Structure 1
């Protein structure tokens, strides 16, 4: 459970720092348009902070960590997916503010981050199903 709590706190810190970075960078560059840097703050707070708080509540109710290997796959793939996705948002956002062009590979890497998040959610629902079935069996 502490892994989930520390993860939530980590993403809260990253989310707040990314919001600060966006505000200061947009002021420094005198930038008022849209860039992907605008949404990194929200992505980190929602996919990181809020999701890990939700995972923590579900862990408390269903003990997801009882399936240690499956839980770890989900946990680390989710982290990797969120961090890769947000890193590519940072690169695209900074490039937009600096008026640089970026390689289409950045979009491809961001797509891989989204795929990792999708795989992590699939693993999460498999894990959730196993724990619900285990809890129902224990109640009989």
Structure 2
């Protein structure tokens, strides 16, 4: 349970820092257009901070953290989120600097795929615990 709290706390801090980073990076470089850095703040706060607070509550209610595969789910979801967030940050900074990496959307797609699998996996775990109640 503490791991879920600390993970939520980590993503809250990272999300707030991402908001400040977006503002300062674009201001410092004189960038005024759209960039992948702008939704980074929201993605971190919703898919990281708030998501893990919800999982913490579900864990308390249904004992999700006691399930055998919960640890593997935790790693998969965080891997998908970190790949997705990492590619957003890299792409955003490249956009601010005026360049891009053509293969970056494929890496972001992989992160989204892993993240989606993690969400489905969590729902399966939750479904198994609800059936027991």
TM-score range, shorter chain: over 0.9
* C-alpha distance in 2 between matches for 1:133 and 1:53: 23
Matched, 1:26 2:26: yes
Residue 118 of structure 1 corresponds to 116
Residue 109 of structure 1 corresponds to 107
Give the structure with higher Rg (CA).
1
Q: Deviations over 1:32-61 (max 9, x none)?
A: 111000011000000000000000111110
Question: CA-atom RMSD, angstroms?
Answer: 0.8
Residue 83 of structure 1 corresponds to 82
Residue 128 of structure 2 corresponds to 130
Any gaps of 5 or more consecutive residues in structure 2? none
Deviant stretches of 4+, over 3 Å: none
Offset of 1:102 from its aligned partner? 1.6
Normalised TM-score (structure 1):
0.92
Aligned residues: 133
Offset of 1:101 from its aligned partner? 2.5
Indicate conservation of the 8 Å contact 1:73/1:120, yes or no. no
Per the alignment, in what secondary structure is the counterpart of residue 114 of structure 2?
helix
Which structure's residues are more often helix, by fraction? 1
Offset of 1:134 from its aligned partner? 1.6
* C-alpha distance in 2 between matches for 1:123 and 1:60: 18
Residue 138 of structure 1 corresponds to none
Per the alignment, in what secondary structure is the counterpart of residue 39 of structure 2?
helix
Offset of 1:100 from its aligned partner? 1.1
Matched, 1:57 2:57: yes
